[in-house]
Every structure is written in structure tokens, then in C-alpha cells.
Amino acid sequence: MNIELLDIPKIHDTRGSIAVIEKNLLPFPIKRVYYLFDVPSTAKRGGHAHKEQFELLIPLSGSFDVLLHDGHESQKVTLNKPDKGLVIKSNTWRELDNFSSGSICLVISSGEFLEDDYIRDFNDYKDYLQSNRK
């Protein structure tokens, strides 16, 4: 699976904790940052793969599941700690679901929004992987 669980450095004292993400922590340059919030527990997000972009998903609050597929096998990763992130590399299908109440998912991306980088249908995704393996 083309993913990596990432420990985000944190500093803790009696006043609370701070987590720090600097450019050398990520395996890609930061080009875009966005976040998902107010997602109903029954809703699904994602449902796509990126041809080129890498993303880091961080649960700033609450929890959610990330369902991943690489064309051969699937894996589920539950994110529920704000100092643990999931790097999803290119050509990996992802769906997010099972959002807890008040959850917030921060996404740090290696690219700006480009519709041509998205594969939004799972069958098209499998075809894309097959055509690029030749």
C-alpha cells in the first residue's frame, strides 16, 4: 500500500500541546491546505485517487476512517490522534467515512486543485492502473 503513517512532532507542557509540521517532515512540498468539518456521521468523503498529488490527512479533532485501495488490496486506517497523520501517495484510492461528532480532517496536499489529477470512478481507477503498468 502506498501510504505512510506519520508521527507529527509535538511539544507538551502544563499549558497543553502543540504539534509542528515543517517542510522537512513531509515527503512533498506543501501547495494546498484545506479541511473537512461538519461532516455527518453517515456521510462519505473522498471517493477518488490522485494521479500525481500526495496528501497528508490529520484528524485535528475527533476521528474518522480512511478506506484505501491500491488496485489489488484494501486497507482501513482509523485516524483519531492529532499528532498522527496519514500520507497517501499518488495512485491510491481513498474514501473517508465514520466521522465522529465534531471531527475535523486537515488535508495538506502537494498540489493545487487540478481536476485532471483526479480519478473519481473506481472502475476508471482500475483501468488507469492497468494502462500505466504496461
Q: 29 near 109, Cβ under 8 Å? A: no
Residue 61 CB coordination number (10 Å): 15
Place of cell 517542510: 23
**Hey, what amino acid is at 20?**
V
Q: Which of 12, 48, 50, 69 is catalytic?
A: 48
104 touches 61 (CB < 8 A) = yes
48 is catalytic: yes
Q: Give the catalytic positions in this structure.
A: 48
